[in-house]
Each structure stands twice: as C-alpha cells, then as structure tokens.
Amino acid sequence: MNERITLAHGAGGIQTSQLIGGLFEKYLGGPHFTKDDAAVLPSPQGQLAMSTDGFIVSPAFFPGGNVGKLSICGTVNDLACMGAKPLYLTCSFIIEEGFLYDDLERVVAAMAETVNRVGCEIVAGDTKVAGKGQADGVFITTTGVGALTPGAAPAGSRARPGDAVLVTGDVGRHGCTILLARNSFGIDADVTSDCAPLWAPVRDMLAVTKDIHVIRDATRGGVGTVLYEVAGESQVGIRLRRADVPVKDEVRGVTGMLGLDPLYLACEGCMVVICPQEKVPAVLEALRRHPETKDAAQIGTVTEEQKGRVVVETEVGGETLLSRPTGELLPRIC
C-alpha cells in the first residue's frame, strides 16, 4: 500500500477517526485505551513517577529499532531509573504530510511490541499532521506514569564515597549507529542500536537489594555526561578504569577512526548504576540474567576526593580528567 498521510488525517474529522481506529487502536488498543478526551485509570497505591520525552531521531528507522520502539524504551527507562514500574503510557504523534502510511504502521507496530514486552499499556494518544516541510517525518512524544517500588529511592544526589559504579551493558552503541546511519564516512561497520526497555532487569535488581543509590540511563550525552551530573549532584568524585568500560569491537573501531569517545555517545539500552561495593556481585548476577544487560560490569568507584570530577585511569596506567563536552554532541539522536 502506497498511501500517504495527509493534512486531513490530522484535522479531527472522519480521516482522523479512520487513522485512530485503523492503526492506533488496532495496534495499541488495550483495556484502558481511550478514544475519549482522557483515559480513566485505577490509581496505583503509594507514590507515582511521571516522565515525558520527545523523540525526533533522524533517520526514523535505524539498525536495531525505529523511532517508535525508541519512544517507548526512552520513557520506560526514565521510569525504571526512579525504580518505578511502568503502568500507563500516552503517545502524541506529529507527522509530516506525505509520510508513508506503511512506515507509520511499522513505527506503531514496534511501539506495540515494546509495550507488550514491558507489560505496560498505552492509554491515550494524539495525532497532528504538519504540512510538508514543517516537520521531518514523524516526531513522537511519550509520557509515562509508573508506581514507585517501596523502599527504593535512587537519585543522582545519592552517590557516596566507596560506592561502585556499574554500567548495565556496553556503551555508545545507539549514538554510533545513528552516526553511521546519518553520515557517509565510507565506514562499513555492522553496528546495531542497543535500544531496549530495561524495566525487567531493574525490577530484578531491586528485588535483590533496594539499596541502589543511583540509576540513570545514559541517553543524550552518554555515560560521561551522566557521571558528571552525578559527581556534581552528589558532590563526589568518580574514578573510572577505562579498560573495564565495555565497548563492542565494532563501536571501538568506528569511534577510533573518528576520534570520538564512546563514553560520550548515546545509549538507549544502558544505564549507570551506583550502589554499595558489597552489593555488586548480587546486582551483577541479577542484571546478567537478562539478555539486554548480560554485559553489565563495574567500571569504577565513587571517591571522596576530586569532587565534581570524573577521573579516568587509562589503559596504559596513566590518569586523566574525562573532558566535559560542550555544544552539540550529536543532534537528533533520540
């Protein structure tokens, strides 16, 4: 089918109803999915977490995923970073006139598959169509509500000297994938985005211990930016061992050629976890049970000295300050 999205699909009339019924409801419909103005939902016990994220990645389709899968993973992972079980998601589409209906269907199907994998549901949506040249393909904003896990309170300000710094998988893969998909460097590397929803590994980690000080997903800005944020918010130093940072060979190859640091490339299925050193074996064991976090590893420790800074022990035994990037790392990566 070669049908394209038209302005009429966004104008609120019959074509909008057909798009909602024929596509969004078909894939995303569930017990609480609403065609009314708002979904009606049971209020969870205890405290809520709420998070929103806009996704404008270019290109919309990339090895390992598409903007639809990414839009669910991003919001699910933001909730998971607070130790919150994702419950309800909304999605808002801004679609460029002329976008292929079949491509939109692939995006929505990927959203449905990811939502089902996580075990949460999409309860409400919205569609707007912008004129040709007034948006780029499809933009998706997802918002999620989750239920906090009682007893868990991870926060960027809770890193303590002596804590261990872990990552849940190899770093920089999403950023590297988008870089290659966007630019023709003449590099032929088989890199796939790490884009994945991480609630299940986080849930199992919190089942092992609630004493997790920080969980933060390393999206825009990558692991390096997260570590600087935490060092600042917790007023601690962070000491990394470069050799312990898991990086896939193909990512190492590409970033080496281009002079980039994988620590500053976005991940979409990798989190930084900071916890007491004695919890590390149990935490790593819980994480490694899941395919998307099987390469979890400790990469450093939190220190009393060098407050606000991230120090790297290099592969050759030296020591250097991780440089802070300014400006655009790599725009439109998520």
Q: Of 49-78, which residues contact its own copies (CB under 8 A)?
A: 49-56, 58, 77-78
Q: Are 272 and 166 contacting, i.e. CB atoms less than 8 angstroms apart?
A: yes
Listed ranges 121-129, 164-172, 273-281, 295-303: which one lies at the site for its own copies (CB under 8 A): 121-129
Q: Which of 3, 47, 278, 308 binds its own copies (CB under 8 A)?
A: 47
Closest CA to 36 of 144, 123, 120: 123
Closest C-alpha among 61, 141, 26 to residue 95: 141
Residues 215-254 touching its own copies, rule: CB under 8 A, are 216-217, 219-221, 225
CA 29 to chain centre: 24
Tell me if 33 contacts its own copies by CB under 8 A. no
> In whole angstroms, how close is the CB of 40 to its own copies at the nearest point?
6
Q: For the chain, what is the largest distance between any 2 Cα atoms, rounded to a whole number of angstroms?
A: 67
Q: Which residues, listed in sequence order, are joined to residue 95 by a DSSP beta bridge?
A: 129, 138
As measured in angstroms, the least distance from the Cβ of 219 to its own copies is: 7
Residue corresponding to tokens 């919190």? 206
If one asks whether residue 116 binds its own copies (CB under 8 A), the answer comes out as: no
For the chain, give the number of residues: 334
In the bound state with its own copies, the residue whose beta carbon lies nearer, of 91 and 296, is: 91
Among 62-70, 86-94, 103-111, 234-242, which window interacts with its own copies (CB under 8 A)? 86-94
Query: Going by DSSP bridges, is the β-strand pair 310-313/237-241 parallel, antiparallel, or unpaired?
Result: parallel
Rule CB under 8 A: say whether 328 interacts with its own copies: yes
Residues 197-216 contacting its own copies, CB under 8 A: 216
Residue 217 token pair: 């997903």
Q: Among residues 19, 23, 70, 84, which is the contact residue for its own copies, using CB under 8 A?
A: 84
CA-CA distance, 262 to 279, in Å (whole number)? 27
Q: Which of 21, 161, 285, 332 binds its own copies (CB under 8 A)?
A: 332
Of 62, 66, 72, 90, the residue at the interface with its own copies (CB under 8 A) is 90
Structure tokens at 30: 């569930």
